[in-house]
Chains A and B, each alone.
Chain A
């Protein structure tokens, strides 16, 4: 490589072309290697598919329940507010009676 660079030193543009071609070659090799590696990837087995299916089921369960939890919390807050209002009314009537 050093010899090539030294030999091409008086011609900087040719140096650019040669090194550019080397880089392009490395790039094409990397791309072909990537394509080969992509094809070599193993297919997911039955166990893997089953595990994925179970995970999706668990997610669906959590998803449904999370909306249910929000609904119940809203209901709980509503009941709490109503109870507070009832206690206030009770306290008011007690205070009025003692006047």
Chain B
């Protein structure tokens, strides 16, 4: 029993196969974070003093602004490659989901540093920073991506 393949006329294109929906479907969280990382990396290159902000106190303490920008750009770029490669097979293996999961772990660690810096500042000032809930949930979101990218890669994670 071979599956029946429905062939559409050349001028008929289903709405679900546009490049944007194919690459973004179910992976919008990762796309949004990737764009934010690349944006932040570009911003640090333009004005390195951004890393002097309280949010970066843990990340920037042992690293220079250029190194932080390189790390953000590198991880963002690899993540972008993973997102674009998601369905492609390299040497019989789907590399995209593994790259996505690994980069989600790396990002979770990075966002934890920002979250922790904000928590330390909150204790210092005796008032919770309004950014803490957002960064905490982004860390949880990244851990969820690490699981779902490899568990659900046949469908849309």
Interface positions of A (Cβ within 8 A of B): 12-13, 15-16, 19-20, 23-24, 26-28, 30-31, 33-35, 37-38, 41, 49-50, 52-53, 56-57, 59-60, 63, 67
Contact check: which of B6, B61, B149 meets A34 at CB < 8 Å? B149
13 contacts between A and B (CB under 8 A): A12-B58, A12-B120, A13-B61, A13-B62, A16-B113, A19-B112, A19-B116, A20-B112, A24-B105, A27-B104, A27-B142, A38-B152, A49-B1
Among B138-157, those with CB < 8 Å from A are: 139, 142-144, 146-154
Give the distance in Å from the alpha carbon of A12 to the alpha carbon of B150 in the complex: 33
**Given A27-B142, A50-B1, A53-B4, A20:B109 Cβ within 8 A:** yes
Please classify how large the interface on chain B is, using the bins under 10, 10 to 19, 20 to 34, 35 or more. Answer: 20 to 34
How would you classify the secondary structure of chain B's contact residues: helix, strand, loop or mixed?
helix
Residues on B with C-beta less than 8 A from A26 are 108, 143
Residues on B with C-beta less than 8 A from A24 are 105, 108-109
Whether a CB of chain A sits under 8 angstroms from the CB of B8 is: yes
User: Do B151 and A35 have beta carbons less than 8 Å apart?
Assistant: yes
User: Do B151 and A34 have beta carbons less than 8 Å apart?
Assistant: yes
Whether a CB of chain A sits under 8 angstroms from the CB of B83 is: no
Give the distance in Å from the alpha carbon of A60 to the alpha carbon of B5 in the complex: 8
Q: Report the minimal beta-carbon distance from B81 to chain A, rounded to whole angstroms.
A: 18
User: Do B139 and A23 have beta carbons less than 8 Å apart?
Assistant: yes
0 or 1 for each of B16-30: is its CB under 8 Å from A? (1 = yes): 000000000000000
